[in-house]
Amino acid sequence: MKLAAILIGLVTSTSCSMQKDDAAQLTDTRESKYQIGQVWQYKTRPAEPKSTLTIFKVEQSPKDGVIVHVSIDGLQMANPQNLSGASNSIGHMPFAEAAIDSSVTALLKSNQVVTADFMDGYNYWREAFLAGKGGIFSVPVKEAVAYSEETVTTGKRTAE
């Protein structure tokens, strides 16, 4: 959960042009090729060739368009906050649809069961987003993962 809270801070520091009135208009959508329960291969970092992303929610925003919420598994991320010193997954990351488009390489599965674990990170993000203090990643997934790892390990935010 600590990693999820840190990642909310990361997303909060990314570009966010959402106004409070617009944010309140987040709505679930099926008007995307990305659907709940899909598991995708994506262009990963070199040490994580088997990493996958799972789609847990897809929403429409008046300003940001389609927002694709994913969890990522199969990571090898340094994380000094874990007893093991590492994390192998991120429970929630919100992306612009175009960022997912530029990242995915193959659909592996279409019926992954969505678990409640995702909702904690999503609800925390949504609260920040609706307050105008949260954003979405617009970079490819592997860059967002690298940024997340850098921030978790150094405590520094390097992107706007």
Domain boundary assignment for the chain:
2-154
The pLDDT tens digits of the residues spanning 25-70 come to 899 999 999 999 999 999 999 999 999 999 999 999 999 999 999 9
pLDDT in tens, 109-154: 999 988 778 889 999 999 999 899 999 999 999 999 999 999 999 8
With 50 as the cut, is the pLDDT of residue 76 above it? yes
Q: How far apart are CA 142 and CA 103, in angstroms?
A: 8
- Per DSSP, the three-state class of 88 is strand
Give the per-residue pLDDT at 118.
85
Percentage of the residues of the chain whose pLDDT score is greater than 70: 82
For 5-18, write each residue's pLDDT tens digit: 445 445 544 444 44
Q: Where does residue 37 fall: left (phi above 0), alpha (psi -120 to 50 degrees), or beta otherwise?
A: left
**CB neighbourhood size of 51 (10 A):** 22
The DSSP letter of residue 49 is: T
In angstroms, the CA 145 to CA 47 distance is 12
More confident residue, 24 or 160: 24
Of the pLDDT bands very low, low, confident and very high (cuts 50, 70, 90), residue 21 is low
- C-alpha span between 134 and 137 (Å, rounded): 10
Distance (Å, whole) CA 138 – CA 94: 9
The Cα 57–Cα 122 span in angstroms is 9
Q: How many residues are listed for the chain in this entry?
A: 160
Amino acid at 9: G
pLDDT at residue 158, rounded to an integer: 57
Nearest to 150 by CA among 39, 17, 7: 7
Q: How confident is the model at residue 155 (pLDDT cuts 50, 70, 90)?
A: confident
